[in-house]
């Protein structure tokens, strides 16, 4: 095993994986229809480089689908079939997690085999949040760890969770990051720590508290030169600036529990004067028709703000296209409605002209793909909540576990 260089976690390249049994936690949680058919397999295909990098190993995949109580809380058989399609060879599905059937199939594996175990969330202890040392005492870890040589976490999108299959093996096995996890960390780090200047964050969507957390972090630590706000985030910021955003928009903010965020937004505006870009006009929804008004005119209307206006689109797009680094999180408006996707489309298009562009997971990443710009971005994150937390500077539990394990391994060496 090589030493860690310029990173504080191990990757596949730091291990001799030839003829080894490798436990790999992936996140292939996918949208499924009521008949159990996979609707979007992006997360499945995202893990193919990791599995291909282990072609001389025995690969045991741990994964989940949905959660208890949901209609798509089902087995991993369709996922194994889709993985087989992408790999061009069989991925065996085993309808067991750590019982005798699973253990016997793992023990019988040969070099080059890939096996997908059953939905780890079928085991009730999987979703209990607790430290790695406590997870290591569970039946899942006690039964699977002795059969494996190395554990790899490739599930960035759930790494903000302190769940069993993400944490438990890091206390007992040599462990590191898979290719997707490595790519997520290095790409996001480049954006927020080492990217070109100016660095611009464009924060939109409806998760106001998350976006304000990101804004506070990147402005206070110098990670961003400017933060441009759109969506409900912008409405809260406009209200904090003293603009009358109209009854419909105030009521929506209150219904989402974000009234208290107005004071927080005001503090950000006060602390970082000139660093936050606000819309100068918006598009109101009049029974499906787009009505453009300046910010000063919104208070006279009973209509809802569903997008940023043309003047704002032009100004924001110019600033974004000239950026050294741009990071998008959240759509600019209600982009699923015809006529109100314009702001989101133009901002995404402008981001492709920046030197380095990141789509920060969740809704905005889906829109980048839907609008056909996925090959023009430097990085499209597979994470939603995990990406938000990472950008906000919040330690992700499962990644922290990898870092702690790397320190322990280095000391042993």
Q: Is 64 part of any known ligand binding site?
A: yes
Taking residue 104's Cβ as centre, other Cβ atoms within 10 Å add up to 11
Mean pLDDT of 324-342: 95
What does the mean pLDDT of the chain come to? Answer: 94
Q: Which pLDDT score, from 0 to 100, does residue 408 have?
A: 76
30 contacts 40 by C-beta, under 8 angstroms: yes
Q: Which pLDDT score, from 0 to 100, does residue 191 have?
A: 86
Residue with the two structure tokens 């090589």: 2
Task: Specify the pTM.
Answer: 0.91
Lowest mean pLDDT among 60-69, 183-192, 225-234, 350-359: 183-192
Q: Which pLDDT score, from 0 to 100, does residue 280 have?
A: 98
Q: Is 161 part of any known ligand binding site?
A: yes
Higher per-residue pLDDT: 2 or 117: 117
297: burial class by Cβ within 10 Å (0-12, 13-18, 19+)? middle
Q: Is 121 part of any known ligand binding site?
A: yes
In this prediction, what percent of the chain has a pLDDT beyond 90?
A: 89
Mean pLDDT of 57-70: 97
The fold for domain 12-178+395-412 equals: Rossmann fold (3.40.50)
Q: Which pLDDT score, from 0 to 100, does residue 5 have?
A: 43
Q: Is 51 part of any known ligand binding site?
A: no
- Residues, the chain: 413
Q: Is 286 part of any known ligand binding site?
A: no
Is the confidence at residue 209, as pLDDT, over 60?
yes
Which among 132, 98, 93, 83 is positioned nearest to 115, based on CA atoms? 93
Q: Is 290 part of any known ligand binding site?
A: no
Q: Which pLDDT score, from 0 to 100, does residue 365 have?
A: 92
DSSP 8-state secondary structure symbol assigned to residue 402 = H
Q: Is 361 part of any known ligand binding site?
A: yes
pLDDT bucket at 299, cuts 50 / 70 / 90: very high
> Collapsing DSSP states into helix, strand and coil, what is residue 152?
strand
pLDDT bucket at 410, cuts 50 / 70 / 90: low
pLDDT bucket at 413, cuts 50 / 70 / 90: low
Q: Is 105 part of any known ligand binding site?
A: no
Same fold: 12-178+395-412 with 197-354: yes
Q: Is 347 part of any known ligand binding site?
A: no
Tokens of 136: 């290591």
Is the confidence at residue 361, as pLDDT, over 90?
no
| CATH class as words, domain 197-354 | alpha beta
Longest dimension (CA), the chain: 72
pLDDT bucket at 163, cuts 50 / 70 / 90: very high
Domain boundaries, given as residue ranges, for the chain: 12-178+395-412, 197-354
Q: Is 231 part of any known ligand binding site?
A: no
Is the confidence at residue 2, as pLDDT, over 50?
no
pLDDT bucket at 69, cuts 50 / 70 / 90: very high
pLDDT bucket at 194, cuts 50 / 70 / 90: low
Q: Is 58 part of any known ligand binding site?
A: no
Write the pLDDT tens digit of every residue in 234-279: 999 999 999 999 999 999 999 999 999 999 999 999 999 999 999 9
Q: Which pLDDT score, from 0 to 100, does residue 193 have?
A: 81
Q: Is 130 part of any known ligand binding site?
A: no
Residue with the two structure tokens 């462990």: 175
40: burial class by Cβ within 10 Å (0-12, 13-18, 19+)? exposed
Mean pLDDT of 19-34: 96
Q: Is 52 part of any known ligand binding site?
A: no
Taking residue 311's Cβ as centre, other Cβ atoms within 10 Å add up to 15
């Amino acid at each position: 095993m090589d030493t860690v260089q310029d990173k504080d976690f191990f990757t596949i390249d730091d291990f001799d994986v030839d003829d080894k049994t490798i436990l790999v936690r992936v996140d292939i949680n996918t949208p499924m229809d009521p008949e159990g058919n996979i609707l979007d397999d992006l997360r499945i295909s995202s893990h193919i480089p990791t599995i291909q990098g282990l072609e001389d190993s025995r690969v045991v995949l741990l994964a989940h689908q949905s959660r208890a109580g949901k209609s798509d809380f089902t087995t991993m058989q369709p996922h194994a079939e889709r993985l087989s399609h992408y790999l061009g060879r069989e991925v065996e599905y085993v309808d067991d997690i750590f019982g005798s059937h699973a253990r016997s199939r793992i023990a019988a594996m040969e070099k080059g085999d890939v096996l997908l175990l059953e939905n780890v969330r079928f085991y009730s202890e999987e979703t209990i949040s607790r430290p790695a040392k406590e997870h290591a005492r569970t039946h899942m870890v006690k039964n699977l760890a002795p059969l494996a040589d190395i554990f790899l976490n490739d599930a960035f999108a759930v790494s903000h969770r302190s769940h069993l299959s993400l944490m438990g093996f890091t206390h007992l096995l040599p462990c590191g990051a898979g290719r997707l996890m490595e790519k997520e960390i290095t790409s996001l780090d480049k954006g927020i720590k080492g990217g070109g200047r100016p660095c611009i964050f464009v924060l939109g969507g409806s998760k106001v508290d998350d976006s304000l957390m990101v804004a506070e972090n990147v402005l206070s630590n110098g990670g961003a030169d400017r933060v441009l706000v759109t969506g409900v985030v912008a409405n809260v910021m406009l209200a904090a600036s003293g603009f009358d955003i109209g009854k419909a928009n105030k009521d929506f903010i209150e219904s989402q529990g974000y009234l208290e965020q107005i004071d927080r937004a005001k503090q950000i505006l006060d602390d970082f004067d000139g660093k936050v870009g606000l819309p100068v006009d918006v598009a109101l929804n009049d029974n499906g028709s787009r009505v453009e008004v300046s910010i000063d005119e919104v208070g006279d209307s009973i209509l809802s703000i569903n997008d940023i206006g043309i003047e704002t689109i032009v100004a924001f797009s110019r600033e974004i296209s000239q950026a050294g680094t741009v990071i998008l999180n959240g759509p600019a408006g209600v982009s699923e409605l015809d006529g109100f996707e314009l702001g989101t489309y133009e901002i995404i298009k402008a981001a492709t002209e920046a030197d380095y562009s990141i789509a920060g997971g969740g809704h905005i990443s889906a829109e980048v793909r839907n609008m056909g710009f996925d090959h023009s971005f430097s990085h499209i994150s597979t994470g939603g909540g995990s990406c938000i937390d990472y950008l906000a500077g919040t330690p992700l539990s499962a990644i922290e576990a990898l870092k702690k394990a790397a320190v322990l391994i280095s000391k042993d060496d």
